[in-house]
Amino acid sequence: MGVKFFGQFLLERRLITSNQLVEAVEFQQAQNLKLGDYAVKKGYLTKEQSAQINRLQQQKDLKFGQAAMDLSLLTAKQVDELLLMQQNDHIYLGDAVVLKGFASRAAVDEALKAFKEDQKIYEIQGGIPVPSELQLTDTVRVFIDMTQKMLLRMGSIETKITGNEWITGSVMPPGNASLIRFEGGIKCAYIVGLPETVTHKLGEKLLGKFYDPKDPAVRQDAVQEFCNIVTGNVVARLAQMGVRSDILPPETLSGPVSLGTGRALKYVAATPDGQGVFIALIL
């Protein structure tokens, strides 16, 4: 079990069908206007100005309100007002399911309570240090926390974060390593390097008698799939936080990854027997 979407939870409980889920989501999307739509409705922006702001948003990876203020097309007060309007009008998926008549309010509320309990284990734990100058603190915590959670969930491997540091020049993770690139709302690359003992433990847990520790291709594949599962669940968690992103297929790392003029944030997740799982984010 990984991070879930509430709609899926409703499907699993057979509260709604897949056709009803699609209909409810489309209804929800039609009802929940974007900030730009509110601004046009209110007369603060023209459609062309809203499009201009969208272009800047995409170029510089900004929220709509910030991009609008940067272009001096909206004031901070107007952005706050529009955000409040958006918040007040927002309908959740559960609301859409009820409004469409697919399930009762009581049934949806009960399912939501069970969903929150089910997903409690994926709340970000506190105590993960993040450099103070970094703006993406919550995002970084999601990556590190999800790595630890998946080591535990998939390999029964407990770890503790022992610190972080910036790396420049190049990054060369030890052990069996894989890299996955993110696109969309988050542009970064995630690298994980597992020492041999951790790789074996993970491989045995995943594959049982099918795991061949002597075959390097099998070991590498297990790490790549681990990397894929961590990052897929990061995408899901970030989506719940309002950040849309996507991942590319995992890459094998057989040598150092050049950082050019950029840098990577490195963490080590230590196992009780002193092995170090290497985690790096190229931001």
Partner 1 sequence: MGKRVLLVDDSVTTAKQLESIIVGLSGFEIVGHAKNGAEAVKMYKSLTPDIVCMDIVMPLMDGLQATRAILQLDQNAKVVMISSLGGVGDKVVEALKVGAKDVIAKPFEPEKIRQTLQSL
Residue 247 binds to partner 1 (criterion: CB under 8 A): yes
List the structure tokens of 60: 């510089």
The correct pick among 232, 259, 263, 270 for binding partner 1 (CB under 8 A) is 232
The correct pick among 15, 96, 97, 154 for binding partner 1 (CB under 8 A) is 154
CB nearer to partner 1: give 21 or 281: 21
Residue with tokens 């936080």: 241
**Total binding residues for partner 1 by CB under 8 A?**
42
Task: Look at residue 186 and give its three-state secondary structure.
Answer: coil
The correct pick among 78, 167, 225, 243 for binding partner 1 (CB under 8 A) is 225
Whole-angstrom Cα distance, residue 250 to residue 234?
14
Residue 7 binds to partner 1 (criterion: CB under 8 A): yes
Whole-angstrom Cα distance, residue 175 to residue 193?
6
CB nearer to partner 1: give 114 or 207: 207
Whole-angstrom Cα distance, residue 16 to residue 186?
32
CB nearer to partner 1: give 173 or 203: 203
Q: What is the separation, in whole angstroms, between the first and last Cα of the chain?
A: 28
Choices 1-9, 73-81, 136-144, 272-280 (CB under 8 A): range interacting with partner 1? 1-9
CB nearer to partner 1: give 148 or 233: 233
Partners of 248 in the β-ladder: none
Q: Which residues contact 244 (CB under 8 A, 6 or more apart)?
A: 184, 185, 238
Question: Which residue from 178, 169, 164 is spatially nearest to 132, judged by alpha carbons?
Answer: 164
Partners of 176 in the β-ladder: 194
C-beta of 33: minimal distance to partner 1 in Å?
A: 18
Choices 66-74, 137-145, 205-213, 268-276 (CB under 8 A): range interacting with partner 1? 205-213
**For 246, which DSSP code?**
E
Choices 110-118, 124-132, 167-175, 233-241 (CB under 8 A): range interacting with partner 1? 233-241
List the structure tokens of 124: 């970000």
Residue 242 binds to partner 1 (criterion: CB under 8 A): no
How many other C-beta atoms are found inside a 10 Å radius of the C-beta of residue 43? 7
Subset of residues 17 to 36 that bind partner 1, contact rule: CB under 8 A: 18-19, 21-22, 25
With vertex at residue 259, the alpha carbon angle to CA 229 and CA 171, rounded to the nearest 5 degrees, is 60
Residue 203 binds to partner 1 (criterion: CB under 8 A): yes
Residue 282 binds to partner 1 (criterion: CB under 8 A): no
Give residues in contact with partner 1 (CB under 8 A). 1-8, 11, 18-19, 21-22, 25, 93, 150, 153-154, 203, 206-208, 210, 217-218, 221-222, 224-225, 228-229, 231-233, 235-236, 239, 244, 246-249
